[in-house]
Amino acid sequence: MIEVNILGVKITSLTLDQLREKLERFLSGPEPRQIVTPNPEFCVQATHDQEFKTIINKAALAIPDGIGLKFAGWYLGTPIKRRITGVALVEELCRLAEAEGAAIFLLGGGNGVAGKTAEKLKIRYSKLKIVGAENENTIFGKKRSDDEIVKRLNRKKPDILLVAFGAPKQEKWIYYNQPKFTTIKIAAGVGGAFDYLSGKVKRAPRLLRIIGLEWLVRLIRQPWRISRIINATLIFTLKVLFSRRNRYHENHE
């Protein structure tokens, strides 16, 4: 397992077996660990949000969720072993929780999405213990403070917390509230994973995901995402090109 630097963001390069080993260690460890799932859009945003960049770089793991990161790693001469999506991370955590008897709490997503995600996961992992599946704005019937949400989490005593607020909110929320967790050992920001797992949003065909064109399918289905897609494709690519050029000049001055 190594760290790959892309636009100042440290990406964890690891195999699926290495990921599983890390998750097992975190679950049995003495303190909460934060996992982030950066993609090209994260890296672009981190170039002008130092707080966000710092939080990503302090995380226990920064899972590469985005084919663009693999291409960037190769282009910069520091290959990333494999892409691991947010959905794949959730599934690995569910397998581990089911095997170890650990409890999971799903927090975030749109109204009803966390609950639907929990239903789908229970079908796939019949022995999985889900102690909560709620949107942060309706967790008490109306919007409440972070402290009240954390108190509810602590009463439910989950071992694993999955947060789907979207970036960078989910990363910042976990980072600043992590010291108040009493039972949580793994807290991961999983972005739109709930939308896919619940069936709210259909994933692109497998072939298009493999060749890195899932973003195009999302753009066709959700044209309002065009500014985010531009950041994740064009802007990210240009920044990576410039970063390699700058690195070359620095090494030859």
CATH assignment at residue 127: 3.40.50.10700
For residues 130 and 191, the model is more confident at 130
| Partner residues linked to 133 by β-bridges | 106
Query: What is the predicted pLDDT for the residue at 62?
Result: 98
The single-letter code of the amino acid at 206 is R
DSSP 8-state code for residue 185? S
Query: What is the predicted pLDDT for the residue at 252?
Result: 46
Q: Residue 51: which domain range?
A: 2-210
Angstrom distance (rounded) from CA 172 to CA 52: 7
| Residue 184 resides in a domain | yes
The single-letter code of the amino acid at 79 is P
Query: What is the predicted pLDDT for the residue at 138?
Result: 60
Q: What is the mean pLDDT of residues 161-174?
A: 96
| Residue 216 resides in a domain | no
| Residue 144 resides in a domain | yes
| Residue 235 resides in a domain | no
Query: What is the predicted pLDDT for the residue at 4?
Result: 96
Contact 86, 37 (CB under 8 A): yes
Query: What is the predicted pLDDT for the residue at 142?
Result: 58
Query: What is the predicted pLDDT for the residue at 143?
Result: 63
Residue in this structure with the two tokens 């672009």, named with its chain if needed? 44
**pLDDT at residue 196 is higher than 80:** yes
- pLDDT tens-digit profile of 216-226? 777 777 787 78
Give Cα separations from 149 to 104, 139, 165 (angstroms).
Answer: 15, 7, 14
Percent of the chain with pLDDT over 70: 93
Angstrom distance (rounded) from CA 94 to CA 100: 10
Contact 94, 211 (CB under 8 A): no
Helix H or strand E encompassing 244: helix 236-251
Total domain count, the chain: 1
| Residue 215 resides in a domain | no
The three-class DSSP label of residue 214 is: helix
Mean pLDDT score across all residues of the chain? 90
Q: What is 37-74 written as a DSSP string?
A: ---HHHHHHHTS-HHHHHHHHHSSEE---SHHHHHHHH
| Residue 251 resides in a domain | no
- pLDDT tens-digit profile of 119-150? 999 999 999 999 999 986 665 555 668 898 99
**pLDDT at residue 251 is higher than 70:** no
Contact 42, 167 (CB under 8 A): yes
For residues 41 and 215, the model is more confident at 41
| Residue 25 resides in a domain | yes
pTM as predicted: 0.91
Q: How confident is the model at residue 249 (pLDDT cuts 50, 70, 90)?
A: very low
